[in-house]
Amino acid sequence: MTENFGCIILGGGHAAAEAALCLRKEGFEGSILMAGDEPSLPYQRPPLSKTYLAEDVTADSLLIRESQAYVGANITVRVNARAVKLDAASRVVTFADGVQAQYGKLILATGARPRKLVGAGHLKVHYIRTLADIDGLRAVIAPGKRALIIGGGYIGLEAAAMLKKLGLHVTVLEAMERILQRVTAAPLSEFYTRIHREEGVEILTGVSIKSLRADGAELADGRFVPADVLIAGIGVLPNIELAEMAGLRMEAGAVFVDSHCRTSDENIYAAGDCTSFFSPHYERLTRLESVQNANDQARVAAANIAGHVSVYDVLPWFWSDQYDLKLQIAGLSQGYDEVVLRGDSATGRSFAAFYFAQGRLIAVDAVNRPREFLLAKRLIAAKVSPDRNILQDETADLKKLL
């Protein structure tokens, strides 16, 4: 027998939880099913590589909402519910246990999964994405052990900082010439390289792995890096299999959504890491992996399904916590041709990097500089190109820029 729901949400992360509850806030009166393939209710992922890895918080404390919130909103929640088929023509979802459910509207909030390390199928490689991932990693780490992290992006560096704090010997391998090369300018890469080395983490860049072994990695240049624990942080892949099955439009390797977070099927919406969209701020196709994007797209999708016209037009922002450093990012820096620094990135632990493209401010990376972060968000959103001399001069009043 096929069940019927006014709206089905496929996913169990930030976007799914936000969409479910926002549907009710927006006045949606139909029945709602939120189905995720993990054994837990939706939980916060950013703390996984930090406080949860350190066992400073419990799994229950990471829940985005307690179960009572969904019960109170009359939302049916199913965990360990993996959707294996999506028939857009008949509007039916089939789950791995054979249960079928029909929808009036559907929200794809299927997220992304870690990109697997090629050539490591015979080894135990740890990834950082789910509670189960971190539970598995916590079971094998201990002070004095050697951790090898493959990938010098934010996830890898956050894990490196926490593992070092927990007393492990940590090495980070990055194939590119500098860490964070895909997402930041050279001053940021140099800053975080210096900080991690000062904290005792070994950073190796411009290296390629010839072979992986249970006790470490042999590099192409002949060096061997010993390890007791192997961790990979080499990006993620959007979970788009159901969308492809439904024949939805794809762009940039993800489910394309319009400004209302609607897919090419009028009855299917999508939100979060599995989507791509046209950014009016940057006038280009964009795909984001962030809590902010997941939550904001979920709200827009829910509002439109409930009959309230809503448009997704939000400036992206992100953050990363490493040691005593809080990096706050506003905007997207890709395509920059000029970087203006405020503060000392070479020897200090607090500064901001402002990114410009053809004279226009497009992004900021602010390390322990919340004031500059908030200011830049306003300037970028307003498309204001500030005076570089004021940005660089720490004695200057930043309010003049507004």
What local confidence, expressed as pLDDT, does residue 120 receive? Answer: 80
DSSP type of residue 115: P
pLDDT in tens, 197-246: 999 999 999 999 999 999 999 999 999 999 999 999 999 999 999 999 99
Alpha carbon separation from 172 to 160, 225, 313, 344, 350 (Å, rounded):
7, 10, 37, 25, 23
What local confidence, expressed as pLDDT, does residue 222 receive? Answer: 96
- What whole-number distance in Å separates Cα of residue 267 and Cα of residue 105? 5
Q: Which residues of the chain have pLDDT under 50?
A: none
- Here the tokens at position 300 are 């827009």
- Here the tokens at position 305 are 């399904």
Amino acid at 302: A
The CB density around residue 175, as the number of other CB atoms within 10 Å, is: 15
Spatial CA neighbour of 270 closest among 317, 305, 313, 306: 305
Full set of structural domains in the chain with CATH: 2-113+237-305 (3.50.50.60), 116-232 (3.50.50.60), 324-401 (3.30.390.30)
- What whole-number distance in Å separates Cα of residue 401 and Cα of residue 339? 17
Q: What is the DSSP string of 148-159?
A: EEE--SHHHHHH
- What whole-number distance in Å separates Cα of residue 156 and Cα of residue 134? 13
- What whole-number distance in Å separates Cα of residue 136 and Cα of residue 128? 10
DSSP type of residue 60: G
Helix/strand/coil for 285: strand
Amino acid at 76: T
Helix/strand/coil for 48: helix
Q: What is the DSSP string of 167-195?
A: T-EEEEEESSSSTTTTTS-HHHHHHHHHH
Spatial CA neighbour of 303 closest among 8, 26, 9: 26
pLDDT in tens, 382-394: 998 898 999 999 8
DSSP type of residue 316: -
What local confidence, expressed as pLDDT, does residue 119 receive? Answer: 78
* Contact between residue 248 and residue 264 where contact means Cβ atoms under 8 Å apart: yes
